[in-house]
Copies of this chain bind each other. A is one copy, B any other.
Amino acid sequence: MIMKLGQDLLKIGTKNFKSRLLTGTGKYKNFEEMNESLKSSQCEIVTVAVRRVQSLEAGHIGLMQSINWKKFWMLPNTAGCSNAEEAIRVARLGRELAKLSGQEENNFIKLEVIPDKKYLLPDPLGTLEAAEQLIKEKFEVLPYINADPLLAKRLEELGCATVMPLGSAIGSAQGLLNQSNIQIIIENCNVPVIVDAGIGVPSHAAKAMEIGADAVLINSAIALAKEPPMMANAMNKAVQAGREAFMAGKLEERSVANPSSPSSGLISTPNIAIQ
């Protein structure tokens, strides 16, 4: 059975991945720590904020070059875009970025349309609009969305490669506040469901996988830990643990205690049953 796990692949578009943990590149102290973390996370997909790179933002000069793109599949994202138009433009830049990094066939885009500056919640209409256009342009669209089952279904029907409902607000580390809606999305959708945002500790990541999510994306919880590479390692194990529990058929919650060691045994004579 454990062998089967070797064949348990995450398929996005036509690409297969062994790891179900996606990570980011923001907020690290330096590229060295980032690369150590990417390595110990065993992730295969790494997301990059295209605007940040493109505008030569402080701390991001050299980011692209510091990562070995032969090892990691790039997931450009449209962070910082507040409407569909901006997101479409940045997505196209993202595709160029991937190609320049040597990933000619990479059409992935993590679509973020975020007009809200405080909680960084995504706009459902802008996201739909941008997704529609980007799908026409042959992108594999991975949209970041509020955990709305009907919206998720519509994005799937539009042709998105995955849906990425948020567990809780970006960087809040509050875990799966939207768990019930995420469960319905998992039940209803036929594309991979990747929980994005809000995962702060390994138990959050494991929980997402236990309820049947296909993958999780984690950035802040790793990058802002005191020891990012160790946390990356922890998150990788947690994602695997949650996935394996999902496949192993977990015990259901029960309100009455069930003894692991039944109380029916009786001590009558002090003899011991083994030699």
Q: Which chain A residues have a beta carbon within 8 Å of chain B's beta carbons?
A: 1-2, 5, 24, 26-27, 40, 49, 51-57, 60-61, 64-65, 77, 79-80, 82, 86, 89-90, 93, 96-97, 100-101, 114-125, 128, 146, 148-151, 154, 168-174, 177-181, 184, 200-204, 206-207, 210, 219-221, 223-231, 233-238, 240-245, 247-268, 270-275
> Bound state CA distance, A241 and B199, in angstroms?
14
Contacts A79-B259, A171-B259, A220-B260; is A273 near B61 (CB within 8 Å)?
A: yes
Shortest beta-carbon contacts, A-B, top 5: A226-B249, A171-B258, A79-B261, A51-B265, A49-B261
**What is the copy number of this chain in the assembly?**
4
Q: Which residues of chain B are within 8 angstroms of A243 by Cβ–Cβ distance?
A: 234
Contacts A97-B274, A124-B151, A146-B148; is A55 near B240 (CB within 8 Å)?
A: no
Question: Do A260 and B168 touch across chains, with their CB atoms under 8 A apart?
Answer: no
Q: Report whether over half of chain A's contact residues are helix, strand or loop; otherwise say mixed.
A: loop
Q: Which residues of chain B are within 8 angstroms of A261 by Cβ–Cβ distance?
A: 24, 26, 49, 51-52, 77, 79-80
